[in-house]
Structure 1
Amino acid sequence: MEVHHVRQLADLERAGDPPPEWVRIMTSKRRKSLVVCGACHDGIHGRRAAETLTL
Protein backbone atom coordinates (compact mmCIF):
# COMPACT_ATOMS: atom_id res chain seq x y z
CA MET A 1 0.00 0.00 0.00
CA GLU A 2 1.12 3.52 -0.76
CA VAL A 3 -0.26 6.97 0.02
CA HIS A 4 -0.92 9.48 -2.75
CA HIS A 5 -0.82 13.04 -1.43
CA VAL A 6 -1.58 16.48 -2.88
CA ARG A 7 -0.49 19.78 -1.36
CA GLN A 8 -3.92 21.40 -1.55
CA LEU A 9 -7.38 20.20 -2.48
CA ALA A 10 -7.45 23.05 -5.00
CA ASP A 11 -4.66 21.23 -6.90
CA LEU A 12 -7.22 18.54 -7.76
CA GLU A 13 -9.23 21.01 -9.84
CA ARG A 14 -6.50 20.87 -12.51
CA ALA A 15 -6.88 17.11 -12.98
CA GLY A 16 -8.80 17.38 -16.25
CA ASP A 17 -12.36 17.02 -17.44
CA PRO A 18 -13.79 14.60 -16.58
CA PRO A 19 -11.54 14.08 -13.56
CA PRO A 20 -10.09 10.63 -12.94
CA GLU A 21 -11.80 8.40 -10.36
CA TRP A 22 -9.09 9.02 -7.75
CA VAL A 23 -9.74 12.78 -7.96
CA ARG A 24 -13.49 12.26 -7.43
CA ILE A 25 -12.77 10.09 -4.38
CA MET A 26 -10.38 12.61 -2.81
CA THR A 27 -12.67 15.60 -3.40
CA SER A 28 -15.79 13.80 -2.17
CA LYS A 29 -14.02 12.86 1.07
CA ARG A 30 -12.25 16.24 1.27
CA ARG A 31 -8.94 14.49 1.89
CA LYS A 32 -5.48 15.42 0.63
CA SER A 33 -4.27 11.82 0.80
CA LEU A 34 -5.53 8.51 -0.56
CA VAL A 35 -4.22 5.02 0.22
CA VAL A 36 -3.83 2.98 -2.97
CA CYS A 37 -1.89 -0.04 -4.18
CA GLY A 38 1.50 0.50 -5.82
CA ALA A 39 0.18 -0.11 -9.34
CA CYS A 40 -2.60 2.47 -8.89
CA HIS A 41 -0.15 4.98 -7.44
CA ASP A 42 2.10 4.51 -10.47
CA GLY A 43 -0.95 5.06 -12.71
CA ILE A 44 -1.88 8.27 -10.90
CA HIS A 45 1.60 9.63 -11.59
CA GLY A 46 1.54 8.43 -15.19
CA ARG A 47 4.23 5.80 -14.72
CA ARG A 48 1.91 2.93 -15.73
CA ALA A 49 -1.73 2.65 -16.61
CA ALA A 50 -3.80 1.57 -13.61
CA GLU A 51 -6.75 -0.57 -14.59
CA THR A 52 -8.80 -0.24 -11.40
CA LEU A 53 -8.83 1.67 -8.15
CA THR A 54 -9.86 -0.46 -5.19
CA LEU A 55 -10.87 1.11 -1.92
Structure 2
Amino acid sequence: MEVHHVAKLADLGKPGPDRPPWADLMAARHRKTPVVCGSCHADIHGKKHVPAVTE
Protein backbone atom coordinates (compact mmCIF):
# COMPACT_ATOMS: atom_id res chain seq x y z
CA MET A 1 0.00 0.00 0.00
CA GLU A 2 1.15 3.51 -0.79
CA VAL A 3 -0.14 6.98 0.07
CA HIS A 4 -0.76 9.44 -2.75
CA HIS A 5 -0.41 13.09 -1.73
CA VAL A 6 -2.54 15.77 -3.36
CA ALA A 7 -0.80 19.16 -3.15
CA LYS A 8 -3.96 21.14 -2.33
CA LEU A 9 -7.34 19.92 -1.17
CA ALA A 10 -8.88 22.57 -3.44
CA ASP A 11 -7.32 20.77 -6.43
CA LEU A 12 -9.69 17.85 -5.84
CA GLY A 13 -12.70 20.09 -6.43
CA LYS A 14 -11.67 21.23 -9.91
CA PRO A 15 -13.96 19.84 -12.61
CA GLY A 16 -12.56 18.44 -15.81
CA PRO A 17 -12.58 15.54 -18.24
CA ASP A 18 -9.50 13.96 -16.64
CA ARG A 19 -10.94 14.04 -13.12
CA PRO A 20 -10.15 10.70 -11.46
CA PRO A 21 -13.03 8.78 -9.86
CA TRP A 22 -11.43 8.88 -6.40
CA ALA A 23 -11.28 12.72 -6.39
CA ASP A 24 -14.98 13.15 -5.50
CA LEU A 25 -14.69 10.76 -2.57
CA MET A 26 -11.55 12.43 -1.22
CA ALA A 27 -13.04 15.93 -1.64
CA ALA A 28 -16.21 14.87 0.20
CA ARG A 29 -14.12 13.50 3.06
CA HIS A 30 -11.78 16.53 3.08
CA ARG A 31 -8.78 14.23 2.73
CA LYS A 32 -5.86 14.70 0.39
CA THR A 33 -3.99 11.47 1.00
CA PRO A 34 -5.75 8.40 -0.43
CA VAL A 35 -4.13 5.04 0.32
CA VAL A 36 -3.83 2.99 -2.86
CA CYS A 37 -1.99 -0.09 -4.09
CA GLY A 38 1.34 0.40 -5.87
CA SER A 39 -0.16 -0.31 -9.27
CA CYS A 40 -2.92 2.28 -8.81
CA HIS A 41 -0.41 4.82 -7.47
CA ALA A 42 1.74 4.37 -10.58
CA ASP A 43 -1.38 4.77 -12.72
CA ILE A 44 -2.27 8.04 -10.95
CA HIS A 45 1.15 9.40 -11.88
CA GLY A 46 0.95 8.01 -15.42
CA LYS A 47 3.80 5.59 -14.88
CA LYS A 48 4.16 1.88 -15.53
CA HIS A 49 3.95 -0.14 -12.33
CA VAL A 50 7.17 -1.80 -11.24
CA PRO A 51 6.67 -4.73 -8.85
CA ALA A 52 8.25 -4.36 -5.42
CA VAL A 53 11.48 -6.23 -4.79
CA THR A 54 11.10 -8.83 -2.08
CA GLU A 55 13.64 -11.11 -0.50
TM (normalized to structure 1)? 0.68
Which structure has greater strand proportion?
A: 1
Which of the pair has more CA radius of gyration?
Answer: 2
Q: Structure 1: any 5+ residue segments left out of the alignment?
A: 50-55
Q: CA separation in 1, counterparts of 2:17 and 2:28? A: 16
Residue 38 (1) aligns with residue 32 (2):
no
2:6 paired residue number: 6
Q: CA separation in 2, counterparts of 1:41 and 1:8? A: 17
TM (normalized to structure 2)? 0.68
Tell me the C-alpha RMSD between the 2 structures.
2.2
Report the count of equivalent residues: 49
Identity across matched positions, percent: 51
Q: CA separation in 1, counterparts of 2:13 and 2:28? A: 12
Q: Structure 2: any 5+ residue segments left out of the alignment?
A: 50-55
2:53 paired residue number: none
